[in-house]
Amino acid sequence: MQADVLGVIKEYFEDLPTVKDVLEQVCDAATKYELAVSGNPDRKNTQEQRHDRHELVETLKELRIRLDPLHLPQPLMSSARLAYSPTSSGAPTLDGEIGFLLGKIEEMLQLFNSVDIPTPAKTNPGKPERDTLINDLVLTFESMASSDISYAGSTPEEVMGECREFVQNICNLIDPDIKIPRNL
């Protein structure tokens, strides 16, 4: 990707020291953007989290049913009762231990059923990260364009037009889904 970014930068700047500075600043801005997007807890997929919660609840329900003494095969229960040895914190009998476990599973079911995974309240997730990236790219372009010879005789409107194109081209390389605001 760095080679692609370098190609875009060379379209807009001629001075070699300026090109190097712009490349470094663009790479820094892209790294900050990627870290902000990936590290944002609001970006976690709540649908997947809800699915995981549903799977956990269903597994606990199935375990509750499977551990019910009425559903356990009698030969298994007879053998298990003979082999059971209570621990220091466990129940004295296997039936007591199973009852304790069923109670704990029921508590967990009630707890997980009562909690819902909230949907992030942000209506436009990713916008603050995008705005920061675009702002960093605009500041980079403006600061470097003032010292680059290719913009020596350009009007401010021409420089802003070039800036918009530069930001759009760099953003397309970083993340093609980034939409540039109209007022840039």
Domain locations in the chain as residue ranges: 2-40+126-174, 44-114
| Residue 117 confidence (pLDDT) | 76
| Residue 109 confidence (pLDDT) | 93
pTM, rounded to two decimals: 0.57
From first to last of the 184 residues of the chain, give the pLDDT tens digit.
Answer: 677 888 888 888 888 888 899 999 999 999 998 888 776 666 556 777 888 889 999 999 999 999 988 888 989 888 988 898 888 888 898 889 999 999 999 999 999 988 887 766 665 667 888 899 999 999 998 988 888 888 888 888 888 889 999 999 999 988 888 888 888 7
| Residue 140 confidence (pLDDT) | 92
* Cβ-based neighbours of 71, under 8 Å, separated by 6 or more: 65
| Residue 136 confidence (pLDDT) | 94
DSSP code, position 73: -
| Residue 122 confidence (pLDDT) | 61
| Residue 89 confidence (pLDDT) | 81
* Cβ-based neighbours of 114, under 8 Å, separated by 6 or more: none
Q: Which of 138, 128, 133, 124 is nearest to 166 (CA)?
A: 138
- Coil/strand/helix, residue 181: coil
| Residue 42 confidence (pLDDT) | 60
| Residue 127 confidence (pLDDT) | 82
* Cβ-based neighbours of 38, under 8 Å, separated by 6 or more: none
**How far is it, in rounded angstroms, from Cα 72 to Cα 104?**
18
**How far is it, in rounded angstroms, from Cα 11 to Cα 79?**
80
